[in-house]
Structure 1
């Protein structure tokens, strides 16, 4: 099959002491529960060069800041139709001098508005985006977030996008060959062993190495075969895919994986 140039991924760099080794990133905070350790969010915030809250995401950061273990996590911008940010949160951020931008376009989501602000055409320097939010709760909202990952990641020219949930990290592998650093740990926090390769957009044919159950020229599709609950066996995992697929891997905190 025709291949694109191999793309290399370092998803655990979010927690590294030297995240710029591969590429800078910005944060988009969605209106979803933030249930990782506050110290981990502090590390992510410290490594990010820009932080944008998508409407009610501002509530979530405020809640974390006001919690017993909270840190003073800031945002540079709050953007959206502002139907979710609560008055107390709006006042909290206004007093900190944060820009709050009302965008009334009902044909784009708050997630889209935040991403467009970071990946605006006039910003020529590539910038990775880490979207903080889960896919739990309502099914339609969870599917919408995955839909947005596909929609935004049409190429890697603007940067790569990662979805950071409370359980793991997810990103889009476009058609071609990918090399993923799947074993990495920083100060007791790193990537886990559980991997899924999900062809949600359309059927694909994949070949993998570095997993417990590797496959070769294996057709995968929703309603057919899918590589879920696979296990990392090597430091590097490779995935060769004919169509775009989602790659998801869980977290390992202090040596404990989810079973």
Structure 2
């Protein structure tokens, strides 16, 4: 299969739970306005492994509720958005913690976009990965909107990579080219599962894979045609080559303290 770039992109999707995440790259956290359903121990690890923590409008409510219910300290560095979802209680709490609450009334950009632009700003001096909490779940149109934004933000990997972290697994965009993904990893009760999907959400693609139960070679995939879902990991590393951008998703096998 012919691609425009022979450079292989290496992925460590479970690295955010590692004791040494900086081994591969730095991380920033963006919390969206969706329920936070993971065990509190995993949020502690994610917070500790991220150098920046942002509540995207109503996402600050979710962190506030979690902090209050669990009596935990999960700090935010910034709350940003048009603030139409931020409750008065959450705003008072974060302002009492000396957290900057930034009102951006622009209705042509989402609170998610405003948060990403803050992390991947023109002043950024080195790549930083973004972990998005609460990105999938709830209403179908909202979930599709988040996936749309994932494609929109991930024009390249120059600024960093973006990971959507749900209570079921991790999702990210594979740009056209070659990729090698650490598909078996376990950190403190978090183990990547065997179920993966390779989804051509934007446009048809031709993919080749190695390390899956049902590997393919020069296989056309598209919505309304054939797509690879519920495939199974059979190796520590999975290699994928794709002619167009596709979504890759892998589930969690275990989530326990």
The TM-score, its normalising length taken from structure 1, stands at: 0.96
TM-score (norm 2): 0.97
Q: Deviations over 1:3-56 (max 9, x none)?
A: 421100001110000000000000010001110111001000001000011000
Query: What is residue 220 of structure 1 aligned with on the other side?
Result: 221
User: What is the rounded CA distance, in whole Å, between the counterparts of 1:165 and 1:155 in structure 2?
Assistant: 23
Whole-angstrom distance in 2 between the partners of 1:151 and 1:249: 21
Question: Contact 1:134 / 1:166 at 8 angstroms: preserved in 2?
Answer: no
2:10 alignment counterpart? 8
Q: Paired residue for 1:205?
A: 206
SS in 2 for 1:211: coil
Q: CA offset at residue 124 of structure 1?
A: 2.1
Q: 1:177 to 1:70 in 2, by over 3 A?
A: farther
Higher deviation after alignment, 245-254 or 87-96: 245-254
1:18 maps to 2:20: yes
Where does structure 1 differ by over 6 angstroms across 4 or more consecutive aligned residues?
A: none
What residue is the counterpart of 2:80 in the other structure? 79
Q: Is the 8 A contact 2:34 2:138 kept in 1?
A: no
Show structure 2 runs of 5+ residues with no match: none
Distance 1:31 1:145 in 2: 11
Q: Distance in 1 between matches of 2:166 and 2:52?
A: 19
> Unaligned stretches of 5+ in structure 1?
none
The RMSD of aligned alpha carbons is 1.0
Q: Give a deviation string over 1:95-136, Cα, whole Å, max 9, x none.
A: 000000000000000000000000001212111100111422
Measure the CA separation in 2 of the matches of 1:195 and 1:160.
19
Q: How many residues align?
A: 254
